[in-house]
Amino acid sequence: MQEIHIAGTGVWYPEDVITNDEIVSSYNAYVDNFNESNKDSIASGDIIALEHSSVEFIEKASGIKTRHVVDKKNILDVERMMPSLKHEDESRLSIQAVAGIHAAKKAMTQANVTPDDIDAVILGTSHNARYYPAVAIEIQNELGIDGYAYDMLVGCSSTTFAINNAYSDIASGLAETILVVNPEISTPAVNFGKRDIHFIFGDGCVASVIKKNSSSEKSFKILDRKLMTQFSNNIRSDWSYLARTASDYKTAEDLIFNQNGGSVFKEVCPLVAKFISTQLEKNNIKVEDISKFWLHQANARMINLIVSKIIGSDDFDTNLAPLPIESFGNLASAGSMFAFNLNNDLKSGEKGIICSFGAGYSVCSIIVEKV
């Protein structure tokens, strides 16, 4: 009988680490400079003074303690407050391809496959590095893979939606083995001068090999997939090629990542809890039979609340819902599979749920069983 497996996964993250103390010191120095430079307008009421951030708030509100980033020095530089990167350019590999190739090699090793075994590359991400040629095709070319490759964007659900596409292509007979790559270089999209979002994101990448009838030791059988989308402006980025033609004025900061975090929290937690509960019911799987919840890493409180709603108790072992967010911050769509990669020591027959959710809104939940 045909089974479709997550045969292996691999992660990559940059070496630079920023602690909460460091991100708050930089932000607070930026605030002091801003308030000093604008003191007259603040005194006259034309500009509102910025307020300090705090380590206590960040840890309590999000659970984040550190994040890995592509350029610590420039993010913390109060005169810059963003990474310093180069334009995408045909003379070198895309930043997403470099991250993706590192993670893909680890995933292929774990899955016991070589580029010759792979029929397609699907790259899912929240922010594309460029429009075309697809970064997935660049990765395909660098790794020497035949077949087809494409990029797709589904916000923070891009990873599970991409795994879903891989499953469908394998189930339809189009392919037997697909490499899914999810680079999330999010810090260039972050306004590090904005108090309610400056601490949230880190950079990283996850890759997964989805394969028909894998025999790798790390294989998990995909039992069920469930997807939904529901329009919301609460997480939004308007950055686009249209910007150069716009006749109305907006700053880059207006156009990049913006969110109404409180509303996202309130709306998405019950939605995802109900979504997963209904999926389990439909599959006749008892909640006690789920050994791991590998959920989107947006906020530790959010993850704990969703799990407590599903299992009907807030008294559960922290191992039930791994929290790489503590060390890596929010890794956008890569977060749930990052959690899976770092904590998937299940016994044969044990089951878990991988679920991403985010901008759109979008949700994709995948039930897996250790082979």
Ligand X SMILES: CC(C)(COP(=O)(O)OP(=O)(O)OC[C@H]1O[C@@H](n2cnc3c(N)ncnc32)[C@H](O)[C@@H]1OP(=O)(O)O)[C@@H](O)C(=O)NCCC(=O)NCCS
Q: Give catalytic residues, as residue numbers.
A: 156
Question: Does 202 participate in binding ligand X (rule CB under 6 A)?
Answer: no
**Minimum gap (Å) between residue 265 Cβ and ligand X:** 4
**Minimum gap (Å) between residue 152 Cβ and ligand X:** 17
Q: Which stretch binds ligand X (CB under 6 A): 36-44, 97-105, 255-263, 309-317?
A: 255-263
**Minimum gap (Å) between residue 196 Cβ and ligand X:** 4
Helix or strand holding residue 90 (H, E): none
Residue 355 in contact with residue 276, Cβ under 8 Å?
yes
Q: Which two tokens stand for residue 89?
A: 């350019």
Residue 182 in contact with residue 328, Cβ under 8 Å?
no
**Residue among 129, 143, 149, 156 that touches ligand X (CB under 6 A):** 156
Query: For residues 159 and 292, what is the distance between their CA atoms, to the nearest angstrom?
Result: 18
User: Per CB under 6 A, which of residues 316..335 are in contact with ligand X?
Assistant: 330, 332
**Minimum gap (Å) between residue 104 Cβ and ligand X:** 23
Query: For residues 90 and 267, what is the distance between their CA atoms, to the nearest angstrom?
Result: 42
Q: How many residues does the chain have?
A: 371
Query: For residues 173 and 130, what is the distance between their CA atoms, to the nearest angstrom?
Result: 31
- Binding-site string for ligand X from residue 264 to residue 303, where x marks contact by CB under 6 A and - marks none: xx--------------------------------xx--x-
Question: Does 53 participate in binding ligand X (rule CB under 6 A)?
Answer: yes
- Residue nearest to ligand X according to CB distances in the complex: 261
Question: Does 144 participate in binding ligand X (rule CB under 6 A)?
Answer: no
Give residue for tokens 């395909």: 140
Q: Which is nearer to ligand X, 54 or 327 (CB)?
A: 54
Question: Does 57 participate in binding ligand X (rule CB under 6 A)?
Answer: yes
* Secondary structure (3-state) at 131: coil
Question: Does 191 participate in binding ligand X (rule CB under 6 A)?
Answer: no
Q: Which stretch binds ligand X (CB under 6 A): 30-38, 108-116, 258-266, 346-354?
A: 258-266
Distances from the Cα of 47 to the Cα of 36, 51, 365, angstroms:
12, 12, 44
Q: Which of 148, 99, 156 is nearest to 127 (CA)?
A: 156
